[in-house]
Structures are given as C-alpha cells and as structure tokens.
Amino acid sequence: MNSLRPLIPLFLLLQAACSGVSDTRPEPVRKSEYYLEHGVSAFENSDYVAAADFLRKALAHYRSIDDTTGVLLSRINLAETALAAGNFKAALEQIEEAERIADGEPYHEYRPRLALLRAQTHWRAEEGEKALALLQPLLPNFESDGRSSERPTLLQLGAVTLRTAIAFARDDDERQEARLWLQRLALMLPRTEGRTALHHARLLRFEAQLAAHEEAPQTALEKFDQALQLYREGAARPAIAATLTESGKLLMQLGRWEEAAEQLQRALYIRLWIMDRPGAAELLQPLQIVYRQLGDEERLEQINSEANRLTHGR
C-alpha cells in the first residue's frame, strides 16, 4: 500500500486536470449559490429547519454582493419554506420583500409565482376572500367541457389546486363547486408538463374527500391510502400529515376511534417534526375528542399539556 502512496497526488492531479468546466466565478458568488441550492434541496427533503438556515445564509450572501436576482430567489424560497412550516407571518414578510424587487422591470416573470404564494398564505391564514382575489388572474380559461383552453403550466396547476381546495372547504351541501373544480383539475393534470406524483396524490385526496361526502367511506379510505403511498415515496412530510389528518377525521366519523387516534397521532408527530405549530395545534382538538371517546385519560392529559405548550409556547 505504501508503494502506492506517491501515486495518490498524481492521481488527484490527473483528476483535477480531467475536471469538466472549472468554475471560475468569484468565491462569494459560488458560496451564495451553494447555500441557495442546498436550501432548495433541504426543502425538497422536507427539512424546513435546515432549508430556512441555508436560505437565510444565501440571502445574507447575495445581499452582501448586491445580487438582486439571488436576493429575490432566496426570498421566494424562504417564503415557500415559512409557508410549509406554517409560519404565515414570516411567509408574508418574505413575500412583501420579494414583491418590492419583482416590481422592477427585469423581474416581472416572478410576479405570478409571488401572487400564488400570497394566495396560499392568505388561505392558510383563513383569509379566504383575499386568497380568491389573488387567485383569479392566475387561473386558466376553461372550455365548457372543463378543459383549459391553453396548455396549462405548473403555476396554473398550483392555482387550480388551491382553487379546488377552497371550493371543497366552502359549505356547499351539493358540492357543485367542488365537483366542478375537481373535474377541471383532473382534466388539467395529464396535460401539464412537469407534473409529479405529488400532483396525482393531491388529486386522489380531493377524490377521497368527495367520496367521503358521498357516503362511500371505503372508497375514500382507499384513495387516502393511495395518496399516502405516493406521498411516502416522495417523503413529502406536510402532505403525509395532511392525508393522515383527513383520513383520521373520516375514521372519527365512522366511529373507528382506535384507528383514528393512531392516524392523528402519526400526523401530529410529523407536524411537530417540521415545527408546524399551527398544523400541530389544529390536530389537538380532534385528538382530544378521540381520547375522550376512548376514555384514555392519560393520553388526554398529554394532549392537553401539549395544547398548553403549543398555545403558550411552553
């Protein structure tokens, strides 16, 4: 082995010589980009704490070299991360800062993205009217058969997904509006370039919700399960938590308290993992009902103290 040691530097030098296109950009530029890319990567792994950390560093580095595009991208990513972690206030702050930049001529292309982000944030912060107003210009035109008149983009798909979620949340016994938007979404999805399994999973969840409303709980549970599988494959933490919550609530309606408790607990664990305090707090009420039904005083006590901790930050 020792006889090979002198060859190591030679090998490394040859390696360096064989490198592809060497990056000759200045160090601050490369460092800023490094943080930005790692932030995006951490977000895609649903590691929002690490993502926020990387992206804050990216923002600071881009600001230090006065790179407006970098600052804008960092802020959009930070807003997306804050929204995913349920921190709406921080998300809105980042969006506002990003909008100031996007008002400038070279950055107009980012405006629709920011509008969608703002709409998503308002909707999660229970400001439905504001969300709808922002969504309207982002939606594609639809033909009478429910198809979009142009080839949809991912941004439009995102807008229609949110619009469908709003339609489902509205109190409508017949679910006419929900059915309409679900049909549009289902027709739009296969035509959208760049769609992922996560988009399909979201569609399945809407279908499950509709099936639950139409009193077909078994179909609903199956669709939730299919969606869950897809989300698990993509390790999409917030989506898994949302699906488990919806499925748990359906099990509550069916009086399957044990299973409901199990699903809701799993969802709670994920919400706490990603530090989504509002998301975790929303789960506590159904969990209290479930444990009361099960007469599990010990668990109920735990949930109450968790609620206290989340509400008062203790």
Partner 1 sequence: MSEQQQPVHYIHRMEYSVQERLVGVFLLGALAILFVLMFINSKTAHLFEDRIILNTYLTKAEGISTDTPVKISGIEVGKVASLDIAADHRIHLRLIIYQRYQPLVRSDSTAAVSKLSVLGKPVINITAGTTTEAILEDEATIEVEEPLSVDELLAELTPVIQGVESSVKRFAEIMQQIEPQQVGNIITRLDSSARHIEQISARLNSTQGTLGMAINDPAFQQRFSSAVTSIDHAFVQMEQRLQELERLSLNLGESSSEFPALTSEFKTVLNNTNALLTSVNVEMKQLPDLVTRMNVLMEQTDRLLEGINNSWLFSSDEGKLQRKLIGVQPYHE
Nearest distance, CB of residue 43 and partner 1, angstroms: 5
How many residues belong to the site for partner 1 (CB under 8 A)?
48
| Cα within 13 Å of Cα(115), Cβ side | 17
Nearer to partner 1, 111 or 292 (CB): 111
From candidates 23, 172, 214, 301, binder to partner 1 by CB under 8 A: 23
198 touches partner 1 by CB under 8 A: yes
Contact yes or no for 223/211 (Cβ under 8 A): yes
Query: Strand pairing partners for 148?
Result: 142
Residues contacting 94, CB < 8 A, separation 6+:
75, 76, 78, 79, 82
From candidates 3, 8, 16, 215, binder to partner 1 by CB under 8 A: 16
Q: Determine if residue 130 is left, alpha or beta; phi over 0 gives left, psi from -120 to 50 gives alpha, anything else beta.
A: alpha
For residue 6, give the DSSP letter.
T
283 touches partner 1 by CB under 8 A: no
- Restricting to residues 143-172, name those near partner 1 by CB under 8 A: 154-155, 157-158, 161-162, 165
For residue 24, give the DSSP letter.
-
What is the x/- site pattern for partner 1, positions 50-79, by CB under 8 A? Answer: -----------------------x--xx--
Q: Where does this chain touch partner 1 (CB under 8 A) — which range of 9-17, 95-103, 207-215, 264-272?
A: 9-17
Nearest distance, CB of residue 36 and partner 1, angstroms: 5
251: number of Cβ within 10 Å: 22
Place of tokens 């919806």: 246
22 touches partner 1 by CB under 8 A: yes
Using alpha carbons, list the distances in angstroms from residue 283 to 7, 61, 173, 272.
61, 38, 25, 11
Query: What does the binding site for partner 1 look like in residue numbers (CB under 8 A)?
Result: 9-10, 12-13, 15-23, 33, 36-38, 40-41, 43-44, 73, 76-77, 80-81, 84, 113, 116, 120, 123-124, 154-155, 157-158, 161-162, 165, 194, 198-199, 201-202, 236, 238-239, 242
